[in-house]
């Protein structure tokens, strides 16, 4: 039986991933800020086939509280073999530009907290485990419209690259997940188009990539080609483009 820990479990993508694991009769431990929402998702997963579902309320920015959460997850399941880190926000770049406090808080949410969790998890995971982390295509290059978010995700991406290289020798796979535009409640104000994907589609890609022990996955896959083009635009040209 798989034993799954999902941090940021109330996000649309994470909930879809949890449902997929529930249909496999996996034990699932859910972590997020909202206890009521966690319990509602847990009840749904039990109906879908999860034999054991635990919940834990946590603000990921409270880094000192991470250890207690991980202790609870390991105790509830007698260990964890697959982790998905899926929390995050989509900050207002103008608000970040106007306030150092806002900028640093958003960086902690989208970058520092994830790095802290990955560091602690690496000390607990056993050989054969999977550590999957949702970063973003935004981390591949800073853009004027969301460079605070992008810089946090770039930090996560670089961290996962190095950590994955190190942990591979221990038999632990680190998966860097780079979604493009995803239709979720967090992006409901955005106009949707052909490049947008559903949370369910992205979730299927995450589970498939984790099963295959991939190192990096762009979701949907066409984002790899898009970002190869964007990353290779010369800086003097890139600065004249509105993105």
Query: What are the angstrom distances between the C-alpha of 57 and each of 8, 31, 39, 81, 174?
Result: 10, 6, 10, 21, 25
The C-alpha atoms of residue 107 and residue 153 are separated, in whole angstroms, by 9
Q: What CA–CA distance (Å, rounded) separates 221 from 226?
A: 10
Q: Calculate helix-pair angle for 12-23, 35-48, nearest 10 degrees.
A: 30
| Active-site hit among 21, 56, 147, 149 | 149
Phi, psi at residue 224, to the nearest 5°?
-60, -45
Whether the upstream peptide bond of residue 200 has omega within 30° of 0, thus cis, is no
Q: How far apart are CA 10 and CA 21, in angstroms?
A: 15
Under DSSP, the state recorded for 187 is G
Q: Reply yes or no on whether 149 is catalytic.
A: yes
In contact, 6 and 73? CB cutoff 8 Å: no
Report the DSSP pairing between strands 173-179 and 130-134: parallel
Beta strands in the chain (DSSP E): 3-7, 27-32, 53-57, 82-85, 130-134, 173-179, 182-183, 197-198, 216-219
Residues with catalytic annotation? 149
């Amino acid at each position: 039986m798989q034993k799954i820990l999902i941090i940021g479990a109330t996000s649309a993508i994470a909930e879809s991933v949890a449902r997929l694991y529930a249909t496999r009769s996996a034990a699932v431990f859910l972590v997020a800020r909202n206890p009521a929402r966690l319990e509602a998702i847990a009840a749904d997963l039990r109906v879908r086939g999860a034999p054991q579902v635990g919940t834990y309320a946590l603000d990921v920015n409270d880094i000192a509280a991470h250890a207690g959460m991980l202790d609870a997850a390991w105790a509830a399941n007698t260990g964890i073999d697959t982790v998905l880190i899926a929390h995050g926000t989509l900050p207002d770049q103008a608000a970040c530009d106007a306030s150092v406090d806002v900028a640093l808080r958003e960086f902690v949410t989208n970058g520092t907290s994830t790095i802290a969790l990955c560091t602690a998890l690496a000390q607990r995971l056993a050989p054969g485990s999977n550590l999957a982390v949702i970063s973003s295509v935004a981390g591949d290059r800073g853009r004027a419209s969301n460079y605070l978010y992008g810089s946090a995700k770039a930090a996560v991406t670089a961290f996962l690259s190095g950590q994955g290289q190190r942990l591979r020798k221990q038999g632990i796979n680190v998966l860097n997940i780079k979604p493009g535009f995803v239709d979720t409640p967090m992006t409901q104000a955005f106009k949707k188009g052909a490049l947008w994907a559903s949370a369910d589609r992205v979730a299927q890609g995450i589970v498939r990539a984790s099963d295959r022990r991939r190192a990096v996955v762009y979701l949907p896959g066409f984002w790899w080609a898009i970002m190869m083009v964007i990353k290779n635009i010369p800086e003097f040209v890139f600065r004249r483009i509105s993105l």
